[in-house]
Amino acid sequence: MNSEEKKIYFLLKSVIYHYHGLDEAEKIDLQNTSAELDGQEELRWALNFVAEDYITAFDRARAYLNNIIGDYAKPKRIELIKMVWQANNIKGYVTEMEATAMVKLAKDWNVEKELVNLILE
């Protein structure tokens, strides 16, 4: 995974995790993933992106991601939305706000059907 992909990965996870407030399990997941991917710098970048303004973080991240991910092949877009869905399930549930955020991203990326199928599994 190159640096840009790591940034996308961490921004996506971070913005969804911060959507309702970052909890302890999510912090641990970000730290563990950062160690696994050797992505400390990219995680720091994503957390700084979110911290610039928590209130607008999702909308800013959505715009940023849409500019990049629009060029990705559909399987890669599905992989990214699946990754964030699975990451949110680490704590055993997904909040309505998190699910809404993921649906918005899936719609932007034309992978709504795939997200719904994932949810139903």
pLDDT in tens, 72-113: 899 999 998 888 888 878 777 788 888 888 899 999 999 999
pLDDT in tens, 7-34: 999 999 999 888 777 888 889 999 999 9
Measured at the CA of 115, the angle between CA 44 and CA 25, to 5 degrees, comes to 40
Cα(4)–Cα(10) distance, integer angstroms: 10
Q: Please give the average per-residue pLDDT across 2-9, as a whole number.
A: 90
Cα(88)–Cα(20) distance, integer angstroms: 12
* pLDDT of 61: 94
pTM: predicted TM-score of the whole model, two decimal places = 0.85
Asked whether residue 43 carries a pLDDT value surpassing 90, the answer given is: yes
